Amino acid sequence: MSKTQMTGAKMVVQALKDQGVEVIFGYPGGAVLPIYDEIFQQNQIRHVLVRHEQGAVHAAEGYARSTGKPGVALVTSGPGATNAVTGLTDALMDSIPIVVLTGQVPTFMIGNDAFQEADTVGITRPCTKHNWLVKETDELSNTIHQAFHVATKGRPGPVLVDIPKDVQFASGKYTAPKAARVSHYQPPVKGDIETITALVEAMETAKRPLFYTGGGVINSGPAASTLLRELVEATGFPITSTLMGLGAYPANGEKWLGMLGMHGLYEANLAMHDCDLMINIGARFDDRITGRVQDFSPGSVKAHVDIDPSSINKVIRVELPIIGDVGHVLEDMLRIWKSRGRKTNGEAVKKWWAQIEKWRKVDCLAFKQEGNVIKPQYALSRLEALTKDHPSRYICTEVGQHQMWAAQYLGFNEPNRWMTSGGLGTMGYGFPASVGVQMAHPDALVINVAGEASWLMNMQEMGTAVQYRLPVKQFILNNERLGMVRQWQELLHGERYSESWSSALPDFVKLAEAFGAKGILCSDPADLDDAIMEMLNHDGPVIFDCLVTKHENCYPMIPSGEPHNKMLLGEVSTKDAIGAKGAVMV
Amino acid sequence: MSPLKIKKGASSHSAYDLRDPHAEAIERHTLAVVVDNEAGVLARVIGLFSGRGYNIESLTVAETDHTGHVSRITIVTSGTPSVIEQIKAQLGRIVPVHEVHDLTVEGPSVERELGLFKVAGTGDKRVEALRLADIFRVNVVDSTLESFVFEITGTPEKIDAFAELMRPLGLQEVARTGVAALSRGDGAH
Ligand SMILES: Cc1cc2nc3c(=O)[nH]c(=O)nc-3n(C[C@H](O)[C@H](O)[C@H](O)COP(=O)(O)OP(=O)(O)OC[C@H]3O[C@@H](n4cnc5c(N)ncnc54)[C@H](O)[C@@H]3O)c2cc1C
Ligand SMILES: Cc1ncc(C[n+]2csc(CCOP(=O)(O)OP(=O)(O)O)c2C)c(N)n1
């Protein structure tokens, strides 16, 4: 047996090494000192000292999303653990595999309101896929191996292992991953062949088919994206994706309609509304997508491929539910479709494309850069033009209008290149996520497209970026407003801009300099290209303060509670567009 | 007509029970959930119900396999068919959950609950309480000159009925276990 005696603290480091972990993001404290002592005495695993535990968890998320490997964070008991809660919830909503290790007061003090004691497993139970409190050193390594298994298998998600300090000091038997107890948790990956065949049959006859893909394709791994591309090219069907699925099918691909949903493209949303066969692959019928459920794509037969049975029929009833891993199911779909003679309803699909082309002509993302103030859409168009050919560009975002504009105006041609907080919509996600991405890809171009308000939420991570010489580019679209909130107030609350101002903003250039980084201010459209190039050419972290139009709205927009074909486009009058019923939705 | 061979709303390819999704009729279902008997597992199940706004009408839990550390949780819940379907799928995602059985749809099952009733009284009321207890085949597990503790086993409906009868006869206190249930016939679930 591959079992050896060692302290719990040593076990933690050994287990991480055996799991192939290269980087952990963390912050020390009393309850994890033995583990930090072990980290000190080795060189294999790099530890990144963040400046706030929320940053550690988002960095782990960025690392995970950009590599496909689980991200790891290590924090202390009590406040360290509670600071991790937002990141855990974020990872749960977006199905990101991360392992968070927390210190805990010694077992004999649990329940006594000891110093820095918090009921960590209690607090994090609803925001983890699973969590464990380890009470015996003998169980520790096995539990950590289980944690990696659960985080990555099936629908990925965050897990947490809470380790009391006495368990870290005591000695016990180390179990290597191979010898670890196998978990009964083994979600099936193969889809039901009969249903897959029924879907292929439907694809052969469909007149207005549409692929609606999501984060599940990214979760399934790069092979799934390759298969998806093959299937789309072979069938010639149009494809749209959610915010979370961008990059699985390339934005420069011929069949690409752009993102769908609340701020999705006109052609993508109308295609969703009018299709007769909707093939949902790894998306979860989120309310940003469906709008008013009763009116959602009323004429279509729907197929849904998802590894999590609870995603199926949760929001939208589907005729063809397929429970399985995207990669496995796509492989079967392709094989069956080919073996049946590669049929599609060519004539009808051509007409369908003709219709889509008409919608495309609306050119819903068109904007005019006039005057001497930079429009945010223009800023992102220029950023796209100047970076799209970079061989390894990774984009993170914060949350708000800038996030939606980034999704609309930047093109993603590969999976795992786009890190954004979709489900929870966590302002403050993007900066630490960019730290995690850059740690995983030291030579890549990592840009965080930010709003000034979101960026301030985790700006302390400047310290981390500078300390580890991470050349992350913080591209702040500064409208001096909580723009997304302001937009809703304009459309929904009679332009009463209650508390949606970013007042007393710092001078971002001086702020960058105070941290020992570079700051760039740009306010004139004529200077923009040069300023962006200056940012790209600087070998080190940059804060780019891009002053943009203050009251720009993000369109297209489907108001909450409306169907897809009630979309607001930029120029039309949009006041009072959201009815009372929609107003209660967020 | 849709050019597709599948009718909209068809359920033949569904791995699920696809009764009319818009049916608003509330149904009562008994679920048997087999779980690892580990710390916090009950909190996970209960947290799921409270966090997602599902009903629990009754819940019982005990270890059923000591060597395998396996417990069985029996939950009586109610909701529309689609809510019941979600409840089962959500229970199935909890990592220490091994199996989820819907005894209400998976064929005939038996349900039993145990109730303890303290009834105090003298004279005619006391005689009547004892007479009714006898009809219900209830055990007397404690008695004083002025009170009985009755033990009744049966379906929840039977226990409800007995409670109604005892109320005017001096019912003081009730303790009920909640439902335990098994499928009928051969085969485990
Ligand atoms: C301000 C704001 C505005 C937004 N506007 C939009 C918008 O306009 N359009 C938009 O699309 N989104 C928008 N979002 C994001 C939205 O809230 C959701 O996060 C997003 O739509 C969900 O994406 P998804 O359906 O791909 O699901 P995800 O959350 O990525 O879930 C993935 C699904 O795939 C399944 N899955 C995971 N792994 C596998 C596997 N290996 N095989 C099979 N299935 C798997 C999971 O079970 C899950 O059901 C917005 C967010 C914010 C913050
Ligand atoms: C932590 C958190 N708090 C509040 C919100 C609500 N919210 C969504 S967008 C937004 C404004 C974001 O402003 P900014 O970062 O400047 O981006 P902009 O919309 O202006 O591009 C707010 C407050 C949120 N998503 N997250």
Do A486 and A449 belong together in one domain?
yes
Residue pair A68/A127 in contact (Cβ under 8 Å)? The answer is no
Q: Say how many domains are in chain A.
A: 3
- For A185, the closest chain B residue by CA position comes to B95
Residues of A in contact with B9 (CB under 8 A): 317, 319
C-beta A548 within 6 A of ligand 2: no
Out of A11, A14, A53, A431, which one is annotated catalytic?
A53
Would you place residue A586 in the very low, low, confident or very high pLDDT band (cuts 50, 70, 90)?
low
Give the domain-ending residue among A328, A360, A392: A360
**Mean pLDDT, rounded, for A494-520:** 97
Least confident of A183-187, A262-266, A305-309: A183-187
Do A291 and A390 belong together in one domain?
no
Asked if A401 is an active-site residue, the reply is no
Asked if A116 is an active-site residue, the reply is yes
Quote the tokens at residue A395.
């984009």
> Does A88 map to a domain?
yes
Out of A115, A230, A361, A581, which one is annotated catalytic?
A115
Question: Residue A252 pLDDT more than 80?
Answer: yes
* Domain ranges (residues) in chain B: 27-102, 109-183
Do A440 and A513 belong together in one domain?
yes
**Farthest-apart Cα atoms in chain A, separation:** 74
> Does A552 map to a domain?
no
Do A406 and A520 belong together in one domain?
yes
Do A83 and A47 belong together in one domain?
yes
Question: Residue A166 pLDDT more than 60?
Answer: yes
> Does A567 map to a domain?
no
CATH class given for the domain over B27-102: alpha beta
To the nearest whole Å, the CA of B22 is away from the closest chain A CA by 10
Give the domain-ending residue among A149, A179, A209: A179
Q: State the Cα–Cα distance between residues B28 and A16, nearest whole angstrom.
A: 47
Give me the interface pTM, i.e. the ipTM: 0.91
Any idea what the CATH number is for the domain that residue A252 is in? Answer: 3.40.50.1220
Do A383 and A510 belong together in one domain?
yes
Element (H, E) at A465: helix A462-467
How many C-beta neighbours within 10 Å does residue A73 have?
Answer: 33
**Mean pLDDT, rounded, for B161-185:** 96
Least confident of A478-482, A569-573, B88-92: A569-573
Q: Do A195 and B15 touch (CB under 8 A)?
A: yes
Q: Is the peptide bond before A556 cis (omega within 30 degrees of 0)?
A: yes
Would B27-102 and B109-183 be classified into the same CATH topology? yes
Q: State the Cα–Cα distance between residues A262 and A257, nearest whole angstrom.
A: 15
Do A347 and A210 belong together in one domain?
yes
Residue pair B27/A208 in contact (Cβ under 8 Å)? The answer is no
Do A388 and A354 belong together in one domain?
no
pLDDT digits 0-9 by tens, B3-36: 455 655 554 433 334 444 556 799 999 999 999 9
How many C-beta neighbours within 10 Å does residue A42 have?
Answer: 12
Tell me the H-state helices in A236-375: 266-274, 287-290, 326-339, 346-361
Assigned CATH topology for domain B109-183:
Alpha-Beta Plaits (3.30.70)
Do A448 and A534 belong together in one domain?
yes
> Does A273 map to a domain?
yes
> Does A558 map to a domain?
no
For chain B, say whether A122 makes contact (Cβ under 8 Å): yes
Would you place residue A72 in the very low, low, confident or very high pLDDT band (cuts 50, 70, 90)?
very high
Q: State the Cα–Cα distance between residues A272 and A297, nearest whole angstrom.
A: 6
Quote the pTM value.
0.94
Name the residue range of residue A162's domain: 5-179
**Mean pLDDT, rounded, for A257-268:** 97
Would you place residue A579 in the very low, low, confident or very high pLDDT band (cuts 50, 70, 90)?
low
> Does A204 map to a domain?
yes
| Average per-residue pLDDT for chain A | 96
Give the domain-ending residue among A148, A179, A210: A179
Any idea what the CATH number is for the domain that residue A75 is in? Answer: 3.40.50.970
> Does A86 map to a domain?
yes
User: Of A421, A427, A486, which is best to mutate to test ligand 2, by the most ligand atoms within 8 angstroms of its C-beta?
Assistant: A427
Going by alpha carbons, the residue nearest to atom 1 of ligand 1 is A400
Do A472 and A450 belong together in one domain?
yes
Q: Provide the pLDDT for residue A582.
A: 56
Tell me the H-state helices in A137-285: 137-152, 165-169, 193-205, 215-220, 222-235, 266-274
> Does A577 map to a domain?
no
Do A423 and A502 belong together in one domain?
yes
Do A354 and A402 belong together in one domain?
no
Q: Provide the pLDDT for residue B1.
A: 34
Q: Provide the pLDDT for residue A133.
A: 98
